[in-house]
Amino acid sequence: MITERREREKEEGIERLKFNFVVSNLRCVIQEEWHQRGPVADFGLTFVTKPMRALVAVKRVIDYAIKVRVKPDKTGVVKENVQHSMNPFDEIALEEAVRLKEKQIIKEVVAVSLGPSKSQETLRTALAKGADRAIHVEVEEVMAEKIEPLLIAKILRRIAEAEKPDLIFLGKQAIDDDCGQTAQLLAGLLNWPQAMYASAVEQESDKTFIVTREVDGGRESVRIKIPAIISADLRLNEPRYATLPNIMKAKNKLLEKRKPADYGIEIVQQIQILEVTEPPKRKSGGFVEDVPSLVVKLKEMGVV
C-alpha cells in the first residue's frame, strides 16, 4: 500500500511539473509574439490591445500668412498664383495621430483629402510628417468651390466604412471658410461618440480615451469609447516640420486616387454664397495725453 501511494504521488508530481512547464512556455510565447504586435498590459498572462488605425482628414487652403484678396466680382477670393498649405488645425490633428503611433497606440495613420489635383501636394506633406498612406478624393477645380461640410462628411463616412478606423482626427475648422461643422456632421452620420476642440488626448484603456477640451468655464475632460471622432484645437500640440529625408520617403508611400462617384456621392451645391466682401476699413487711432482731452475728443466724435 505504501509503495503504491508513493508511486501515485510520484506520478502526480511529474504531471504537475509537466503542466507548469507547458504554462511557462506558453506564457513566454504569448509575451514574445504579442509584444511585437503592440502595447501590452500585464494581467498575470500578457494581453495585447488590438492594433488601432487612425484616419486624418486634411485640407488644402490658402497659407495663413498670405493676405487674402477678394475677387472683383465678389464671388470669392483670389486663389490663382497664391501659396497654399495644409490647414493649420488639420496639421495639429495629424501630429496627434502620429504621436499616438510613436507611442505604439496606433499602428497605421491614413491621411485623406477631398479637393482638386493639387491636394496631392498636401497629402504628400502629410506622408512626410508621418502618415503611412493617403487617399485623395479628386474633384475638378470648378467643382471644388461647391464642396460643403455635409458633402465632405458623407464622403468621409464612406471612407470610414471601408477603412474601419478606430479614431478619426480632424481640425476643429478650416481657416478658409471657418465652418467648423464637418467633425460634428461626420459623428452624426456614423453615430460615433465625439470629442470636439481637444487640447489633450490620453489613452485610458484599449477601448477608451480621455480627451481634455477647452470650454468657456475652463477645461472639461470627457471619456470616449472607440471608434470615435476627435477634432483638434490649437493647444493640442505643436506640429513638427517635415524633414528632407522624410519628404523623399513620402514620394514612395502609397497615395490612392478616388472619385466621389466611387463612394456613390454626387457633388450638389446646397449653400449659395451671395457675396464675399473685405472687412470694413477702420479709421486710424490717435493718442490723448489725459482724461480731459479724451472727454473732449469723445464729444467731438459725438460719442458722449
Give a yes or no: residue 286 inside a domain: no
In Å, how far are 21, 105, 155, 269 from 109, measured between CA atoms? 41, 11, 18, 31
The Cα 110–Cα 55 span in angstroms is: 5
Give a yes or no: residue 75 inside a domain: yes
The whole-number pLDDT of residue 39 equals: 42
Give a yes or no: residue 39 inside a domain: no
The whole-number pLDDT of residue 293 equals: 83
The whole-number pLDDT of residue 23 equals: 47
Give a yes or no: residue 6 inside a domain: no
**Exposed/middle/buried for 83, CB within 10 Å: 0-12, 13-18, 19+?**
exposed
The CATH number covering residue 133 comes to 3.40.50.620
The whole-number pLDDT of residue 191 equals: 95
The whole-number pLDDT of residue 18 equals: 54
The Cα 222–Cα 209 span in angstroms is: 8
The Cα 223–Cα 201 span in angstroms is: 10
Give a yes or no: residue 91 inside a domain: yes
The whole-number pLDDT of residue 236 equals: 92
Spans of the chain below 70 pLDDT: 1-50
The secondary structure of residue 77, as a DSSP letter, is B
What pLDDT digit, counting tens, does each position of 186-217 carry?
999 999 999 999 999 999 998 999 999 988 88
Give a yes or no: residue 43 inside a domain: no
Q: Which residues span the domain enclosing 160?
A: 52-263
The secondary structure of residue 40, as a DSSP letter, is E
The whole-number pLDDT of residue 31 equals: 47
The whole-number pLDDT of residue 7 equals: 64
Give a yes or no: residue 61 inside a domain: yes
In Å, how far are 84, 172, 184 from 181, measured between CA atoms? 22, 8, 6
The whole-number pLDDT of residue 37 equals: 46
Alpha carbon dihedral 155, 161, 163, 169, in 10-degree steps, equals 60
Residue (of 148, 150, 122, 146) closest to 135 by Cα position? 122
The whole-number pLDDT of residue 42 equals: 44
The whole-number pLDDT of residue 8 equals: 62
What pLDDT digit, counting tens, does each position of 24-75 carry?
555 544 444 444 444 444 444 444 456 799 999 999 988 888 888 888 888 7
Give a yes or no: residue 299 inside a domain: no
The whole-number pLDDT of residue 280 equals: 81
How many domains would you assign to the chain?
1
